[in-house]
Structure 1
Amino acid sequence: MRERLADLGYQLGWSAVKRLPEPAAVALGRRAADSAWRRRGPRVRQLEANLARVRPDADEAELRALSRAGMRSYLRYWVESFRLPVWSAARIGGALRLEDQHHLTDAIDAGRGVVLALPHLANWDLAGSWLVTELRTPFTTVAERLKPERLFDRFIAYREGLGMEVVAHDGGVAFGKLARRLRAGGVVALVADRDLSASGVPVTFFGETATMPAGPALLAQQTGAALLPVSLWYDETPVMKGRVMAPLPVPEDGTRAERTAALTQALADRFADAIAAHPQDWHMLQRLWTADLDPRPAPRPADRAEERGA
């Protein structure tokens, strides 16, 4: 029943929200965000616990205000994502201002593969659609398998409809496909601030231990691709902002495991800088730090759906 309800909820979102007039859709998202924030359910409490690590000096009132802004940002993500399939190319092209994109275009022009790695900031689906529409740059990403299967199929169809190539998260099979795309000079985009496996790399993140996926670091090492951290954020305008950071150098010394650990830590440091600058746009409503993960129950179908291809 829970799986069916999750599937129905997302189906209604994709079918109904995109048909509403935009002011009505935005107002609906704002009301839903404020309602969820006032109920102070487990997701909101977890968001505040996460934000407390980002802003350790914030008092309770400041954290509450920050979590409210965070929920509004989170629902803005969903409203935009549900409406993206009906946005025109001109609308998508004008919806993101990306700073320092030369780090990306220089690597592409050189025929070098690129791994774009980003945290759960603002709207990564919009950024991906912008990449395809405005820069004419196709790319490949990974989607976590969801239950029921038809919900997973909806997410695949949604992202493919935006011009992305989507690979199911099937361990070594997915990694091999991504590596082939990179060796051919392609672009791979990965949301990489939360590990979904049992093989994540331990990192220090805002002063505490967390695990993050090894994939970006391993792909950069094995294919020679440029590893580019990316930051996204909202401000008071309808336009989302973003920045492509300089490529992270692959360490020359140490074993592969040591190089992977060092490169993943460098990526975590860039993520921390981006999140600290725009904490209200970090959509991390799940447990992340190791101290929060014991015991760790299996995620519910709706929880997995909210990973959104991370």
Structure 2
Amino acid sequence: MREKLVESGYAAGWATLKLLPEPVVRVLGDQLADATWRRQGKGVRQLEANLARVRPGSSAAELRALSRAGMRSYLRYWMESFRLPVWSDRKISDRIQVDGIEYLTTALAEGRGAVIALPHMANWDLAGAWVVRHLGISFTTVAERLKPESLFDRFVAYREGLGMEVLALTGSGGSVFGTLARRLREGRMVCLVGDRDLSDAGLPVRFFGETTKMPAGPAVLAQRTGAALLPVTLWYDGPVMRATIHPPIEPGEGADRGAVTREMTQRLADVWAEGIARHPQDWHMLQRFWLADLPAARSASASAANPQPSTRG
């Protein structure tokens, strides 16, 4: 029942919000964001805990104000996404400003291919639509399967409608990594959101002074195909969204591929941390992010602080 309600909510958003005047949608988004923020649910509390790492030393009032701005930014992302399918090319172009585009166009002109790696900031769907419609560059991305399956299908159709090739992360019957590598060897572009992977496959990185995990995929793809690895940061600036494509992260010297992958991933994290520090309200991280926040880590910490007496003689 919950899955059906969620899917119905998204369906209503895509069907209804694109028909409303933009000022109405903007006010509605802020009202929904504020109502969610006031309820102090799990996601809002986690957002504030994450922002406390980004802005250490902030007072409780400052963190509350920042989390409110963060929820408004997050709801703005959703409101824009529901309306993007009916935006004209001109409107998309007017809503985004991009710096560093030469790093992308140079890599593609050289036939290298490019791995665009982003954190969960602002609206990467808008950035992707701009790349397709303004630059005429198609690209491939990956989508994590959602439940219900009909909701996943809606997201795939939405992003394909914006001009993206979307690969399902699991359950597609083929090698996602292999397909991405082929696209890059063809001199094309791959776009990956890559600031969180708390699974066993994630690589440990230092982020705002603490350890978390991020996916190895962007760095591994760049190493194995010779593609340019380009970090991107995004943020809202009044009515427009701004994006910066940063200089490529090239593999360092060394025969140990694993060490090179870890070093490249850490450099990605460093670029993203700088962007998030400048625009923390546009980092939409409402989930546990640092390893210290995971239940197993807290349990281990509590056990170390309160050791039990030995039962062995």
Work out whether the TM-score is over 0.5: yes
**C-alpha contact (below 8 Å) 2:198/2:213 kept by paired residues:** no
Please list the CA deviations of residues 249-270 of structure 1 after superposition, one character each: whole Å capped at 9, or x if unmatched: 1122141211111111111111
Determine the structure 2 residue equivalent to 1:280: 281
Determine the structure 2 residue equivalent to 1:139: 139
Determine the structure 2 residue equivalent to 1:205: 207
Please list the CA deviations of residues 187-238 of structure 1 after superposition, one character each: whole Å capped at 9, or x if unmatched: 00011101164300000111001000010010001100000000110012x1
Mapped partners of 1:196, 1:92: distance in 2: 34
Determine the structure 2 residue equivalent to 1:263: 264
Determine the structure 2 residue equivalent to 1:299: none
Determine the structure 1 residue equivalent to 2:217: 215
- 1:85 correspondence with 2:106: no
Q: TM-score, normalised by structure 1?
A: 0.93
Secondary structure in structure 2 of the residue aligned to 1:234 = strand
Mapped partners of 2:215, 2:279: distance in 1: 22
Mapped partners of 1:295, 1:146: distance in 2: 25
Determine the structure 2 residue equivalent to 1:68: 68
Mapped partners of 2:17, 2:233: distance in 1: 27
Structure 2's unaligned 5+ residue stretches are 298-313
Structure 1 residue 2 displacement after superposition:
1.5
Amino acid in the other structure paired with 2:118: L
Determine the structure 2 residue equivalent to 1:164: 164
Structure 1 residue 3 displacement after superposition:
1.2
Determine the structure 1 residue equivalent to 2:44: 44
Q: TM-score, normalised by structure 2?
A: 0.92
Secondary structure in structure 1 of the residue aligned to 2:243 = strand
Amino acid in the other structure paired with 1:169: L
Q: In 2 relative to 1, CA 234–101 (structure 1 residues): closer, same or farther, beyond 3 Å?
A: same
Secondary structure in structure 2 of the residue aligned to 1:204 = strand
Mapped partners of 1:158, 1:215: distance in 2: 24
Secondary structure in structure 2 of the residue aligned to 1:266 = helix
Determine the structure 2 residue equivalent to 1:31: 31
Structure 1 runs of 4+ with >2 Å offset:
none
Structure 1 residue 57 displacement after superposition:
1.6
Mapped partners of 1:196, 1:50: distance in 2: 15
**C-alpha contact (below 8 Å) 2:26/2:79 kept by paired residues:** yes
Determine the structure 1 residue equivalent to 2:241: 240
Q: In 2 relative to 1, CA 3–196 (structure 1 residues): closer, same or farther, beyond 3 Å?
A: farther
Mapped partners of 1:100, 1:264: distance in 2: 20
Secondary structure in structure 1 of the residue aligned to 2:295 = coil
Mapped partners of 1:294, 1:219: distance in 2: 32
Deviates more, 1:249-258 or 1:276-285: 249-258
Secondary structure in structure 1 of the residue aligned to 2:135 = coil
Please list the CA deviations of residues 162-211 of structure 1 after superposition, one character each: whole Å capped at 9, or x if unmatched: 00000110397111110000000000001110116430000011100100
Mapped partners of 2:78, 2:2: distance in 1: 20
Aligned residues: 295
**Structure exhibiting the larger radius of gyration computed from Cα positions:** 2
Determine the structure 1 residue equivalent to 2:95: 95
Percentage identity across aligned positions?
Answer: 63
Structure 1 residue 128 displacement after superposition:
0.3
Amino acid in the other structure paired with 1:228: L
Mapped partners of 1:100, 1:211: distance in 2: 27
Mapped partners of 2:255, 2:18: distance in 1: 51
Amino acid in the other structure paired with 2:193: V
Amino acid in the other structure paired with 2:11: Q
Secondary structure in structure 1 of the residue aligned to 2:249 = coil
Mapped partners of 1:107, 1:57: distance in 2: 41
Structure 1 residue 294 displacement after superposition:
2.2
Mapped partners of 1:5, 1:194: distance in 2: 27
Deviates more, 1:11-20 or 1:66-75: 11-20
Structure 1 residue 148 displacement after superposition:
1.1
- 1:115 correspondence with 2:115: yes
Mapped partners of 1:128, 1:293: distance in 2: 32
Amino acid in the other structure paired with 2:28: L
The Cα RMSD (Å) is: 1.3
Amino acid in the other structure paired with 1:9: G
Determine the structure 2 residue equivalent to 1:177: 179
Amino acid in the other structure paired with 1:56: P
